[in-house]
Structure 1
Amino acid sequence: MNGLSRGINSTPPVLKNIIIINILLFLATEVLTKFGVNLTQYLALYYPGSEYFRPHQLITHMFMHAGWAHLFFNMFGLWMFGKILEQVWGSKRFMIYFFATGLGAAALHLLVNYFMISHAMGEYKAMLNTLSPETFDAFIRSNFSEYYGALNQELTDKWYSNPGSAQLAADAQGVAKLLMDRMINIPTVGASGAVFGVLLGFGMLFPNTEIMLLFPPIPMKAKYFVMGYGAIELYLGISQPGSNVAHFAHLGGMIFGFLLIKYWNKKTTTFY
């Protein structure tokens, strides 16, 4: 217990408060859900075209999480690397860095979503203008490949066998609209973007510090760890555009962290 107390007490103030807020909001979300209150709908980040979007979500989504594991790994990574950055930079600069990288992550994530949704919406409208089994099949394959196999079995194959069916055409139109609504209304939660920014900051300040990996359990210099993680996120973001993980948000946190540190390094006369 004394070791745990010392660990908590040695955590710098801004980092400690960020972790506490994340934990409290997660617990509040779990409790309020039982009473029919969906806190995620108010505080998660929605695409600006969604009816649920509110400007404050650009900040509040950083303090929301999808589950215990999501919360734990984000807070553990933030604590492990963030406490060192706050001790080196001071609390004010660390707080600015945390929110700047979190906002940068949200900005890149929303930009990527804009291109994805705009592309899908264009194909959706084109499909409606020439609705057929072929155009529906192409629309699903291009934009919702994760549902392609199930829809082939449940709807598309039947429609190919009976292309004149008004009911199957209506069903296909309804499915397409449902998928578009889902794409627009997917909420984004988590401090991951800012955590990746903190990881990048640690790698830039202490590039030759060795980090012990969990899988596989081998040591690796921080600079190589950061570069490897960034490469993985870029690959996954490109290869898995429909993933539930916001890979480009992670990259956004790293990119904005890099730019901010480079800017600060040029302004050596101003340090918070």
Structure 2
Amino acid sequence: MFPIRDHNPSGRVPYVTYALLAVNIAVFVVSWFGLRSEYALAEFYYTWGLVPAWLMQGEGYSTLISHMFLHGGWMHLAGNMLFLWIFGDNLEDVLGHLRYFLFYLACGLAAAALQVAGDPGFDGPLIGASGAIAGVLGGYLVLFPRARVDVLLIFIIFFRVFSIPAWVVLGIWFAVQSFNGYSATADGVAYLAHVGGFIAGAVLVLPVLLRRGFWVQNKGKPPHPAAEYLFSPSRIPRVPKR
């Protein structure tokens, strides 16, 4: 089960979100197809990825930023870009272009900080935009908990789209990341980074929430009329057979 779109249109063109999508995709394509051996790709990740053990020795501070634009495979990239595409435009709409960009970077740094603190001796490269994007999810949850999000459920040969509140989708996502981070699941995913980024994003939007009375005005719903899609779930009731 994963989200495919929300019903929360933005009021301005999300130029920064588009730019982040383009840069992440471009860096991946150039590195994936431009480096002709696994050794060269590994060297690239160690050069620009964040290695906690090296950082604790005072090295590689520039990788605190560069690691956010690297990905380890097509599915890694596609998953991150899907979440950024769905939820990023609304944060940019509320925060404005520059503040949104700074917010994104700040969440990525917070995500890296918690991951490094959790395993400071780790000598492999941390890569991916998921920590920063987790911050976008945290901010979205605070500002738009009642926005509708369509999720695609796939169970063997059963496919169906459900529309459910954002607080359910993002709450479940955060619970899974927290559980896996707490249990130290060894599957190569930096769960603590996801947790750190999500919390940072939720906290960083609080001043906007309080200053603008944002939630009070909209009661957690999108400030714009909800988007409707051609292939939305049918509202025709099902009549059971007698």
Q: CA RMSD in A?
A: 2.3
> SS of the counterpart of 2:52?
coil
Find the partner of 1:201 among 114, 139, 150: 139
Q: Could you tell me the TM-score, scaled by structure 1's length?
A: 0.64
Q: Distance in 2 between matches of 1:56 and 1:90?
A: 26
Identify unmatched segments of 5+ residues in structure 2: 1-11, 155-160, 213-242
Q: Distance in 2 between matches of 1:54 and 1:215?
A: 41
User: When you count helix as a share of all residues, which structure comes out higher?
Assistant: 1
The residue type equivalent to 1:86 in the other structure is E
Q: Distance in 2 between matches of 1:48 and 1:186?
A: 8
Find the partner of 2:94 among 88, 92, 98: 88
User: When you count strand as a share of all residues, which structure comes out higher?
Assistant: 2
> SS of the counterpart of 2:205?
helix
* Aligned residue number for residue 36 of structure 2: 34
The answer as to 2:53 corresponding to 1:48 is yes
**Shift of residue 29, structure 1, vs aligned partner:** 1.2
CA contact (8 A) 2:17 2:85 kept: yes
The answer as to 2:191 corresponding to 1:253 is no
* Aligned residue number for residue 188 of structure 1: 126
Q: Distance in 2 between matches of 1:219 and 1:264?
A: 27
The answer as to 2:167 corresponding to 1:242 is no
Higher Cα Rg, which structure: 1
> SS of the counterpart of 1:197?
helix
Q: Would you identify which runs of 4 or more consecutive aligned residues in structure 1 move more than 6 Å?
A: none
Q: Distance in 2 between matches of 1:265 and 1:206?
A: 10
The answer as to 2:63 corresponding to 1:61 is no
Identify unmatched segments of 5+ residues in structure 1: 1-9, 118-183
Q: Could you tell me the TM-score, scaled by structure 2's length?
A: 0.72
Aligned residue pairs: how many?
A: 192
Q: Distance in 1 between matches of 2:14 and 2:162?
A: 29
CA contact (8 A) 2:141 2:202 kept: no
**Shift of residue 90, structure 1, vs aligned partner:** 1.3
The answer as to 2:28 corresponding to 1:22 is no
